[in-house]
Amino acid sequence: MTPAPPGGWPAVAVVMPTRGRPELVRESIAGVIAQTYPGEIDCIVIHDQEPQDESLAGLGEGQHRVRVTSNTRSPGLSGARNTGLGLTTADYVATCDDDDIWHPGKLEAQIRRMIADPDLLAVGSGIRLLLPGGKILDWSGRSERIPYELLLRNRVKELHSSTLLIRRVAYDKAGSYDEDLPFGYGEDYDWVLRAARIGPVGVVTEPLADIRKNAT
C-alpha to C-alpha distance for 136 and 213, rounded to whole angstroms? 10
Looking at the DSSP bridge assignments, the partners of residue 65 are 42
* β-pairing verdict for 101-102 and 201-212: antiparallel
Indicate the pLDDT class of residue 46, thresholds 50, 70 and 90.
Answer: very high
* β-pairing verdict for 136-139 and 122-130: antiparallel
Among 98, 153, 96, 92, smallest CA distance to 125 is for 96
* Residue 102 near residue 31, CB atoms below 8 Å: yes
pLDDT tens-digit readout, 112-147: 999 999 999 999 999 999 999 999 999 999 999 999
The model carries a pTM of 0.95
Beta-carbon contacts of 177 under 8 Å, excluding residues fewer than 6 positions away, are 77, 78, 79, 81, 82, 187, 188, 190, 191
Please state the rounded mean pLDDT for residues 45-71. 98
**8, amino acid identity:** G
pLDDT tens-digit readout, 164-206: 999 999 999 999 999 999 877 799 999 999 999 999 999 999 9
Beta-carbon contacts of 95 under 8 Å, excluding residues fewer than 6 positions away, are 14, 15, 16, 81, 161, 162, 164, 166, 188
Beta-carbon contacts of 94 under 8 Å, excluding residues fewer than 6 positions away, are 12, 13, 14, 15, 107, 110, 164, 165, 166
